[in-house]
Amino acid sequence: MDRLFCARLAYIGDVAGCIAGCSQWDGGLIGYGMHMRHAHQLFCFFDPYYRRFVMADIKQDLLSLQYSQNFDIQGLQEANVDLQLPPAPTTLATVYGVVSDGTAPLADATVKLFDSTGMPYQHTMTDATGNYTLTGIPNGTYSLAAVKDGYLLSDAAGIILTGGTTAEVNLVCVPDVTLALGAIAGVVMVSGSMGASTPLAGAKVTLQNPDGTTAAVTYTAADGEFAFYDLADGVYTLISSAEGYLADSTMTAVIANGSIANVNMSMTVDTRTYNGTVSGIIRDTSGQAVAGCFVGLYRVTTVGTLTQEQLVAVTKTNTAGKYLFGGVTGGEYLVKAKLEQ
């Protein structure tokens, strides 16, 4: 006698019956499905001797899996690890729909599901006909959005899922011609000794058109990065500048068919201008500014426990008691002042 393998079960009354998509093998029927009344999965086996289906429960989670932090045990140490297990979801929802441009469906669009706090929960991609399906979603409040290269992110669609519902949410992505244009991204680094480089913040980066006119200007972020976008095809020149630094060279970037170019720009310290200043006011004990007062700038060096002070620059205060030292290179300093008759 042949047996049938059933791909699905349907609940009829108090028994589960096998339906659709069966292939034969001798001896009886076997299948699987979902018992709708008790909401748990079942295996269905047809016993030819008793001429009836035999059901076997598939184990389901009652409490969700949780985990502790890593811990170490050495020798005779004792460890106490407590865990609190939340109830496992008993009913999970499904969201499906179509992503289109308002007229035609969009294949390979990314659809993302966000929870009520705006954190990403799940994502998928549309098929060739623009359809998508998200399954296994616990009850709650969510929002969905879709995006595709060359299209703007769709407006978010809010949805509340309860009781293992199945909901349809269609999304529309609007094309944006500027997204087909090119972009240039890069970083400005300072070349240091022994080949070491560090990012340079606040550097000015100028983008020049192929005809030499300025197309755009930007400044580097704290990590030395910069970016230009919405660029038509062409050959562009990039020039970096920053106070106290010299550009090693200009850079060129080619945009073709809306491509993206990544560049690394390098600058070196300008020893002539890369320095600081020291300034202040000299007053007497009554708070009056002292004009014509001698002011000395001393460089402080420490080797081991020995500290030395070396006079490196001198000046005198003006009529307002002010003084200024320029061209002060990096290091530790102190200022001394005195007035003679």
Contact 57, 40 (CB under 8 A): yes
The C-alpha angle 222, 227, 232, rounded to 5 degrees, equals 170
The matching CATH number, chosen from 2.60.40.1120, 1.25.40.10, 3.40.710.10, 3.30.1510.10, for 93-177 is 2.60.40.1120
pLDDT at residue 34 in the model: 41
What are the pLDDT digits (tens) for 66-80?
999 999 999 999 999
pLDDT of 43: 47
Q: How many CB atoms lie within 10 A of CB 94?
A: 15
Give the distance from CA 170 to its chain's centroid: 27
Q: Which residues pair with 193 in a beta bridge?
A: none
Percent of the chain's residues with pLDDT above 90: 68
The encoded tokens of residue 42 equal 């079942």
How many CB atoms neighbour CB 330 within 10 A?
Answer: 8
Global confidence as pTM? 0.58
Identity of the amino acid at 105: P
Backbone angles phi, psi at 81, to 5 degrees: -125, 110
Q: What is the pLDDT of residue 48?
A: 55
**What pLDDT shows up at residue 90?**
74
Return the domain boundaries, the chain.
2-57, 93-177, 182-269, 276-338
pLDDT beneath 70: ranges in the chain: 1-58, 193-195
pLDDT digits (tens, 9 = 90+) for 113-142: 999 999 999 999 999 999 999 998 988 999
Top-level class of domain 182-269: mainly beta
Vertex 136: Cα angle to 40 and 121 (nearest 5):
155
Q: How far is CA 125 from CA 74, 146, 165, 321, in A?
A: 48, 9, 21, 72
Task: Give the residues across from 3 on adjacent strands.
Answer: 25
The reply to whether domains 93-177 and 182-269 share a CATH topology is: yes
